C-alpha cells in the first residue's frame, strides 16, 4: 500500500476585537449584532469623498497584546495598505489592511503558539477592517440574489497567519481552541459571539497544489471542513488545483468558488490617508505591563507557587473564574492541592460567580473537613452539589444532612469482620493479592459509605498482620 501523502495545513484566523466600543476608523458603534441591517454606518465606513479614516488607538493596543501573547516581535513602524478588490461586501472598493511585501510592514511577525508540546509558528499579525456581511437566499451557489449589511464594515479585525505547521484537522482544531482561550483571557475579544472568530485554511497534500477553504464561520466547523477537503484531495488525485473553495455548512462540503486570486490582483499600495503606526519600545513595554496574565503563564505560576501538579495547574488556569476563586481560597488556607483538585472536578465558572455562588470561606471550611477526615471527599462533593443547587452554604448542608465520616474505628472493624464472615477466604486472598485487597476495601465501603477509604485500608492491613501471627 502506498503511504498517504503528508498533509500541511496553514490557518488564517480573523478575530474581531469585540471589546472595542467603536469601529477601527470611525466612531460608529461596533455592537452590530443587535442592530437592524445598515443601521451602524457613516460616510467613513463607505469611504465617501471628503472623509478621512482616523485610527482607533485602543485597537492598536489590543492587537499588540495578542501579538505579545503569541511571542511575536512588534514592529516599531508598521503601515496600512489598500487591498483592492471589487465585491459587494466592500463599500469602498478596497479594504484597509496591512501587507508584508512591496515595502509593507505588518504590525507583528515571527511568533509561535505551543499546542501539545509542538510549536505552531505564527507568520504575522495584522490589523485590518472587516468587510460587510452578505447573506444568501438558500445556498451560495444557487441563490438568485444576495443581501448586504454594512454594519460589520469597518469593525476592527486582527488577522493571525500561521505557517503550514499543522498536520491534521484535529491539530488545527486544538490550535484554534487554544488561540481563542488565549485571546479571551486577554479580554480583547469574546470568541463565543457569532462570527467573532472566523478562519480560512490552506490545505495541501505533498506534491499537490495549495487549496484555500474560505468562510469557515465557527471552530466547530473547522475540523469537518478540513477532513472533507483532505478526503476530497486524496480521493481525486490531481483534483487539487490552486483554487479557493467555500465551506458550505448546511451541506458539509466544500465547493469551488473561483480560481485563486494572485497577490498582484489586489494591487496593494500604501494607504495614503493614514500615517504609519509607531510603537516604540516604551509603548510596547507599556502594553506588556497592562496585559492580564494568560493561561500558560498562570499554570506555570500555580505549579511554582502552590506546588500543584502540572496537569491540575493547567486545568485550573484554563478557567478564569475558577482560578480567581482558587486564589481567593489560597489566601485563607494552604491546603492547595485539595482545594484545587476539588474545585476543578466539582465546580464550574457559574458555581463560583453566579447567583448561588459558593463563598471562598465556606469552601475552605469544607476542604478542611475533608483534610481532617471529618467528612469523606465523596461527602464533600455531595455537599457542594447541594450548595450550588440551592444556594445554601456547604457547611450548613453538611450539618443538615448529617454528613460525617465514620471515624469510629471500632465500628469500621466490625464491618470488616462482617464482610470477612460473609465471604469465607476473602481475608486470605486480600493478604496475598493487591487487587483482592482493594476489592475488600470496596466491599467495606459499600456496607459503610461514610467510612474513610484510607482508614478502612489501614484497619484491614493491621487485621491481616494480626492474622499472620
State which residue, 28 or 308, has the beta carbon closest to Zn ion: 28
CA distance 322 to 311: 15
When the beta carbons of 42 and 274 are compared against Zn ion, the nearer one is: 42
Residue 45 binding Zn ion, by CB under 5 A: yes
Decide if residue 155 touches Zn ion (CB under 5 A).
Answer: no
Residues 6 or more apart whose Cβ sits within 8 Å of residue 211: 202, 203, 204, 229, 233, 240, 241, 242, 243, 244, 245
> What is the per-residue DSSP string for 22-61?
B-SSSSSBS--TTS-TT-S--HHHHT-TT------HHHHH
Among 7, 11, 15, 26, binds Zn ion (CB under 5 A): 26
30 vs 202 by CB, closer to Zn ion: 30
156 binds Zn ion (CB under 5 A): no
User: Phi and psi for 253 in degrees, rounded to 5?
Assistant: -140, 165
Nearer to Zn ion, 249 or 273 (CB): 273
Query: Whole-angstrom Cα distance, residue 49 to residue 468?
Result: 98
Which of 37-45, 118-126, 174-182, 422-430 is the region at the interface with Zn ion (rule: CB under 5 A)? 37-45
- Smallest separation (angstroms) from Zn ion to the CB of 276: 23
Question: C-beta of 57: minimal distance to Zn ion in Å?
Answer: 17
Quick one: 28 or 367, whose CB is closer to Zn ion? 28
Q: Which stretch binds Zn ion (CB under 5 A): 27-35, 106-114, 293-301, 368-376?
A: 27-35
Could you give the 3-state DSSP secondary structure of residue 164? coil
How many CB atoms neighbour CB 45 within 10 A?
A: 25
Please pick, from the candidates 5, 42, 253, 378, the single residue that binds Zn ion as defined by CB under 5 A: 42
Of the candidate spans 23-31, 56-64, 412-420, 440-448, the one that interacts with Zn ion by CB under 5 A turns out to be 23-31
Scanning 28-36, 321-329, 342-350, 435-443 for contacts with Zn ion by CB under 5 A, the matching segment is 28-36
What size, in residues, is the chain? 469
For Zn ion, the closer of residues 42 and 436 by Cβ is 42
List 17, 24, 28, 105, residue binding Zn ion (CB under 5 A): 28
Tell the smallest beta-carbon distance from residue 125 to Zn ion (Å). Answer: 24
What are 68's three cell numbers? Answer: 505579545
φ, ψ of residue 101 to 5 degrees: the values are -130, 180
Rounded to a whole number of angstroms, the minimum distance from the CB of residue 150 to Zn ion is 9
- CA-CA distance, 327 to 334, in Å (whole number)? 11
Cα–Cα distance between 389 and 468 in angstroms, integer?
Answer: 50
Looking at beta carbons only, is 90 or 230 nearer to Zn ion?
A: 90
Query: Which residue, 44 or 357, is less far from Zn ion as judged by CB?
Result: 44
C-alpha–C-alpha distance, residues 105 and 93, integer Å: 22
**How many residues make contact with Zn ion (CB under 5 A)?**
5
Distance, C-alpha 302 to centroid of its chain: 19
CB closer to Zn ion out of 50 and 238: 50
> Cα torsion for 36, 38, 40, 42, to the nearest 10°?
-160
Stretch that binds Zn ion, among 20-28, 120-128, 264-272, 417-425 (CB under 5 A): 20-28
Of 36-44, 83-91, 226-234, 420-428, the window that binds Zn ion (rule: CB under 5 A) is 36-44
| Cα(272)–Cα(377) distance, integer angstroms | 66
Segment contacting Zn ion by CB under 5 A, of 44-52, 101-109, 296-304, 367-375 = 44-52
- Cell for 91? 463599500
Within 17-102, residue ranges assigned H as helices are 43-46, 57-69
Task: Indicate the SS3 state at residue 55.
Answer: coil
Binding interface with Zn ion (CB under 5 A):
26, 28, 42, 44-45
Amino acid at each position: 500500500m502506498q503511504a498517504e501523502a503528508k498533509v500541511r495545513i496553514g490557518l488564517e484566523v480573523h478575530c474581531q476585537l469585540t471589546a472595542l466600543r467603536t469601529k477601527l476608523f470611525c466612531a460608529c458603534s461596533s455592537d452590530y449584532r443587535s442592530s437592524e441591517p445598515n443601521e451602524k454606518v457613516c460616510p467613513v465606513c463607505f469611504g465617501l469623498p471628503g472623509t478621512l479614516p482616523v485610527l482607533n488607538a485602543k485597537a492598536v493596543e489590543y492587537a499588540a497584546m495578542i501579538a505579545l501573547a503569541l511571542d511575536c516581535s512588534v514592529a516599531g513602524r508598521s503601515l496600512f495598505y489598500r487591498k483592492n478588490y471589487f465585491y459587494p461586501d466592500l463599500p469602498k472598493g478596497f479594504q484597509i489592511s496591512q501587507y508584508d511585501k512591496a515595502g509593507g510592514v505588518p504590525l507583528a511577525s515571527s511568533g509561535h503558539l505551543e499546542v501539545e508540546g509542538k510549536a505552531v509558528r505564527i507568520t504575522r499579525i495584522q490589523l485590518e477592517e472587516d468587510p460587510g456581511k452578505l447573506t444568501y437566499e438558500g445556498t451560495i451557489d444557487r441563490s438568485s440574489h444576495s443581501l448586504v449589511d454594512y454594519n460589520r464594515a469597518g469593525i476592527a479585525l486582527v488577522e493571525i497567519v500561521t505557517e503550514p505547521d499543522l498536520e491534521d484537522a484535529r491539530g488545527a482544531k486544538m490550535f484554534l481552541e487554544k488561540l481563542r482561550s488565549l485571546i479571551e483571557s486577554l479580554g480583547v475579544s469574546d470568541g463565543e459571539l457569532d462570527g467573532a472568530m472566523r478562519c480560512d485554511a490552506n490545505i495541501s497534500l505533498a506534491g499537490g497544489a495549495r487549496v484555500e477553504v474560505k468562510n469557515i464561520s465557527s471552530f466547530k466547523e473547522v475540523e469537518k471542513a478540513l477532513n472533507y477537503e483532505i478526503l476530497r484531495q486524496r480521493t481525486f488525485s490531481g483534483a487539487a488545483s490552486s483554487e479557493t473553495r467555500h465551506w458550505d455548512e448546511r451541506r458539509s462540503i466544500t465547493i469551488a468558488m473561483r480560481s485563486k486570486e494572485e497577490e498582484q490582483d489586489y494591487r496593494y499600495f500604501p494607504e495614503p490617508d493614514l500615517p504609519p503606526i509607531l510603537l516604540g519600545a516604551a509603548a510596547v513595554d507599556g502594553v506588556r505591563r497592562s496585559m492580564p496574565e494568560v493561561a500558560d503563564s498562570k499554570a506555570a505560576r500555580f505549579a511554582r507557587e502552590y506546588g500543584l501538579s502540572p496537569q491540575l495547574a493547567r486545568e485550573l488556569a484554563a478557567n478564569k473564574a475558577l482560578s480567581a476563586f482558587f486564589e481567593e481560597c489560597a489566601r485563607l488556607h494552604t491546603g492547595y492541592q485539595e482545594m484545587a483538585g476539588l474545585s476543578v472536578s466539582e465546580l464550574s465558572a457559574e458555581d463560583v460567580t453566579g447567583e448561588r455562588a459558593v463563598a471562598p470561606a465556606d469552601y475552605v471550611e469544607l476542604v478542611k473537613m475533608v483534610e481532617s477526615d471529618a467528612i469523606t471527599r465523596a461527602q464533600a462533593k455531595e455537599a457542594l452539589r447541594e450548595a450550588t443547587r440551592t444556594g445554601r452554604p456547604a457547611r450548613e448542608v453538611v450539618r443538615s444532612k448529617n454528613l460525617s465520616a465514620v471515624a469510629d474505628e471500632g465500628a469500621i472493624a466490625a464491618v470488616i469482620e462482617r464482610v470477612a464472615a460473609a465471604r469465607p477466604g476473602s481475608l486470605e486472598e486480600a493478604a496475598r493479592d493487591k487487587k483482592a485487597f482493594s476489592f475488600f476495601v470496596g466491599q467495606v465501603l459499600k456496607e459503610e459509605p461514610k467510612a474513610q477509604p484510607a482508614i478502612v485500608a489501614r484497619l484491614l492491613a493491621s487485621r491481616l498482620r494480626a492474622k499472620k501471627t
